[in-house]
Amino acid sequence: MTPGVQGFMYPNEVELQWSVLIVLYPYITGLVAGAFILASLSRIFNIAAVKPIYRLSLLTALAFLLVAPLPLQLHLGHPERSFEMYLTPHKTSAMAMFGFVYLWYLLAVLLTEIWLDYRGDIVRLAQSSRAPVKWIYAALTLGSYNVSPASRRIDDRVGWAVTLIGIPSAFLLHGYVGFIFGSVKANPWWSTPLMPIVFLFSAMVSGIAAVLVIYQAITRIRGREADMACLDTVAKYLFYVFIVDFSLEMLDLVHRTYESNESFRALDFMVHTRLFFSQIVLQIYLGTLLPIALLAVTQVVKLRAPVRRVLYSTAASLTLIGILAMRWNVVIGGQLFSKSFLGYTTYKMEFATREGLLPAIALMILPFPILWVLLKLLPPWEEQKAT
């Protein structure tokens, strides 16, 4: 008997193909999409309360977006050939569109929006700072030092348009990841039209939670007070989006159980055994129901600011764990059962190999030093902003 295998698996199915790195990739792009949607609430929907975290959300999105391709590169059998996806993208493949959606989002949306918003500061810093940092700012000005009110008004209008295009672009950036899984007819755990939508809403949840945690952490590091009106609004949106996300996940579950098709028994067994801890305990109880309950308490009961802050950061941290567990359950869960529905295998995650736990942890930490550099280079806060 093959070790780790229960029942029968097609011989080539025993070894998992997509590892923890492929769990990380949708998680990271989800944080990007969610943080960006939060930023767009202020810009497009003019929700003034969230203005304080507008710039922070954009920089957080950028820090994570820069790290996003790295788990994929580490996973590829031939990362040196990955450029082929740009050269000869196969138009029938959802994955082929990745490169272009990513580049579009990075260059045409995120970097452009950040540049347009920060241009006043960039020009000021290009003139006032010293070498070598001065050269970075000088390069970012693209040689134009015009920051007259008229030019800044134009920047504002164009930036608004970019944010507007950015919202469907963010949906596309993460929605297509859901489609990559959802369109695989061979895999009944993945194949559902709900997949892109569930991915998108869980992305928004994780992105909002991430900004909530990061904002609170940074204000504490800077020794300042967090803007409570902002925190309350962000937590409120987290709560609403979480309700929608949870409803969608429940819809998928109820639908599967009700229809009870050929795959149901095999999948149900898997969820109750090999996926019990990550799905039932981590994702549903600790990662969804508990944070929703905590947030519901803050919405219904009048609590003092310090108590609200603790509840927000607890709920947001649990959410982040829960959404990571969700990605795990989709990616790894989809490979633990046999397509013959007669058996199960085990994921043997290694530690210090190219696709092991160690690089996964390193990649999850990496966005933070990058964010730190971005915050130093392009400080987001009002008191330092040029008029």
Partner 1 sequence: MKKILRDSEHLVRLVILAAIFVAVFLIIRKAVVPAGFGKYGHYRAGALDDIRARSISFAGHEACETCHDEQAQKKAQGKHAQVACEACHGPLAAHADDPSTIKAVKPDPATLCMRCHQADSAKPKTFPQVAGDHAGGEPCGACHNPHNPAM
Partner 2 sequence: MDLNRRELLVGVGKFIILSGSARAALNGDTQTYNMAEHWWGMTIDVSKCIGCGNCVRACAAENGVPKGYFRTWVERYQVNGGDIEHPQVDSPDGAFNGFPPRGPSNAKSFFVPKLCNHCVDSPCVQACPVGATFDSPDGVVLVDEKYCVGCRYCIQACPYGCRYLHPTKHTADKCSLCYHRITKGLTTACCEACPTGARKLADLKNPADPVHEFLRDNNVQVLKPYMATRAKVYYKDLDGAVR
> Which two structure tokens, joined as six digits, stand for 382?
């009002």
Applying CB under 8 A, does 119 fall inside the site for partner 1? yes
- Between CA 4 and CA 324 the distance in angstroms is 24
> What is 239-291 written as a DSSP string?
HHHHHHHHHHHHHHHHHHHHH--TTHHHHHHHHHTTTIIIIIIIIIIIIIIHH
- Does 259 sit near partner 2 (CB under 8 A)? no
Binding of partner 2 at residue 13 (CB under 8 A)? Answer: yes
Which range in 15-23, 82-90, 243-251, 316-324 contacts partner 1 by CB under 8 A? 82-90
> What would you measure as the largest C-alpha separation in the chain, in angstroms?
75
- From first CA to last CA, the distance across the chain in angstroms is 72
Structure tokens at 128: 């006032």
> Of partner 1, partner 2, none, which one sits near residue 142, judging by CB under 5 to 8 A according to partner kind?
partner 1
Does residue 90 interact with partner 1 by CB under 8 A? yes
Length of the chain: 387
CB 178 within 8 A of CB 198: yes
**Residue among 5 and 108 whose Cβ is closer to partner 1:** 108
Which tokens in the block code for residue 31?
């944080």
DSSP label of 108: I
The answer to whether residue 346 forms part of the interface with partner 2 (CB under 8 A) is no
SS (H, E, C) 49-60: HHHHHHHHHHHH
Q: Rounded to whole angstroms, how far apart are CA atoms 274 and 269?
A: 8
Stretch that binds partner 2, among 79-87, 120-128, 291-299, 309-317 (CB under 8 A): 79-87
Nearer to partner 1, 120 or 356 (CB): 120
Considering beta carbons, is residue 73 or 93 the nearer one to partner 1? 93
**132 or 143, CB closer to partner 1?**
143
CB of 124 or CB of 354, closer to partner 2 = 354
Helix, coil or strand: residue 101: helix
The site partner of 79 among partner 2, partner 1, none (C-beta below 5 to 8 Å per kind) is: partner 2
Considering CB under 8 A, how many residues would be counted as binding partner 1? 21
> Is residue 386 close enough to count as binding partner 1 by CB under 8 A?
no
53, 85, 270, 323: which one contacts partner 2 (CB under 8 A)? 85
Shortest Cβ distance from residue 366 to partner 2 (Å)? 22
Q: Interface residues for partner 1 in 133-192 (CB under 8 A)?
A: 141-144, 146, 148, 150-151, 154, 158
In angstroms, give the least distance from the CB of 199 to partner 1. Answer: 27
Among 370, 383, 378, smallest CA distance to 64 is for 370
Question: What's the gap between Cα 310 and its chain centre?
Answer: 23
**CA dist 256 to 88, 268, 342, Å?**
38, 9, 19
Nearer to partner 1, 121 or 245 (CB): 121
What is the rounded CA–CA span in Å between residue 76 and residue 83?
12
Task: Tokens for 47, please give them.
Answer: 């929700």
Question: At closest approach, how far in Å is the CB of 196 from partner 2?
Answer: 16
Interface stretch with partner 2, choices 46-54, 108-116, 183-191, 317-325 (CB under 8 A) = 183-191
Question: What are 14's two structure tokens?
Answer: 């025993």
Residue numbers 297-336 binding partner 2 by CB under 8 A: 335
Q: By C-beta, is 151 or 187 nearer to partner 1?
A: 151
Residue 303 in the binding site for partner 1 (CB under 8 A): no
Residues near partner 1, by CB under 8 A? 83, 86-88, 90-91, 107-108, 112, 115, 119, 141-144, 146, 148, 150-151, 154, 158
